[in-house]
Structure 1
Amino acid sequence: MHPLLNIGVRAARRAGDLIIRHINQLDAIKVDTKGRNDFVSEVDRMAEDDIIQTVRRSYPDHAFLAEESGASGDAEFVWIIDPLDGTTNFLHGFPVFAVSIAVMQRGRLEHGVIYDPMRQELFTCSRGTGATVDGRKMRVSDTRVLASSLIGTGFPYKEDPESLDPYMAMLRDVICQTAGARRPGAAALDLAYVAAGRLDGFWEIGLNIWDIAAGALMIQECGGIVTDLGGRDGWQQSGNIVAGNPRIHEALLKLIEPHLTPGLRR
Structure 2
Amino acid sequence: MDVTQLLDTATEAARSVGPRLRKAFRSRPEVGTKRDFHDPVTEHDRAAEETIRSVIDARVPGSAIVGEEGGATGSGDLVWYVDPIDGTANFAAGLPFFCVSIAAAVGGELVAGVVYDPVREDEFTATTAGAWCNGTPIRSRGAATDREAMLLCAYPTPLDLEKEGEEALRRYARFLESFAAVRRPGSAALNLAHVAAGWSDATYGTWSNPWDVAAGALLVRQAGGVYIGDPLAKGDYLAHVGGFDLAGSALSEVAGRSPGA
Residue 18 of structure 1: how far off its partner (Å): 1.4
1:166–1:111 Cα change, 3 Å:
farther
Q: What TM-score does the superposition give when structure 1 sets the normalisation length?
A: 0.89
Residue 126 of structure 1: how far off its partner (Å): 0.1
Aligned to 2:39: 38
Aligned to 1:2: 4
Q: 2:145 matched to 1:149?
A: no
Alignment check: 8 A CA contact 2:142 2:200 kept: no
Aligned pair count reads 257
Residue 122 of structure 1: how far off its partner (Å): 0.4
Aligned to 1:243: 239
Aligned to 1:21: 23
Alignment check: 8 A CA contact 1:170 1:256 kept: no
Alignment check: 8 A CA contact 2:142 2:244 kept: no
* SS of corresponding position for 2:57: helix
Residue 170 of structure 1: how far off its partner (Å): 2.6
* SS of corresponding position for 1:139: coil
1:223–1:13 Cα change, 3 Å:
same
Aligned pairs for 1:125-136 (under 5 A) are: 125-127=126-128, 129-136=129-136
* SS of corresponding position for 2:259: helix
More deviation, 142-151/45-54 = 142-151
In 2, Cα distance between equivalents of 1:248 and 1:157? 29
Alignment check: 8 A CA contact 2:146 2:178 kept: yes
Q: What are the Cα deviations for residues 86-122 of structure 1, in whole angstroms up to 9, with x where unaligned?
A: 1111111111110000001111111110000110100
Aligned to 1:56: 57
Residue 175 of structure 1: how far off its partner (Å): 1.4
More deviation, 41-50/155-164 = 155-164
In 1, Cα distance between equivalents of 2:236 and 2:255? 14
Alignment check: 8 A CA contact 2:64 2:75 kept: yes
In 2, Cα distance between equivalents of 1:258 and 1:96? 26
RMSD between aligned residues: 2.0
Aligned to 2:118: 117
Residue 142 of structure 1: how far off its partner (Å): 3.5
Alignment check: 8 A CA contact 1:145 1:247 kept: no
Q: What are the Cα deviations for residues 135-188 of structure 1, in whole angstroms up to 9, with x where unaligned?
A: 111111232121111111114133643256444223211211121011111111
Aligned pairs for 1:1-266 (under 5 A) are: 2-26=4-28, 29-36=29-36, 37-127=38-128, 129-155=129-155, 156-158=157-159, 160-163=161-164, 165-228=166-229, 234=230, 236-248=232-244, 250-251=246-247, 255-257=251-253, 260-261=256-257, 263-264=259-260, 266=261
Alignment check: 8 A CA contact 2:141 2:242 kept: no
1:259–1:105 Cα change, 3 Å:
closer
Residue 248 of structure 1: how far off its partner (Å): 2.6
Matched to 1:33, the amino acid is: T
Matched to 1:154, the amino acid is: A
Residue 226 of structure 1: how far off its partner (Å): 1.1
Q: What TM-score does the superposition give when structure 2 sets the normalisation length?
A: 0.91
In 1, Cα distance between equivalents of 2:245 and 2:210? 20
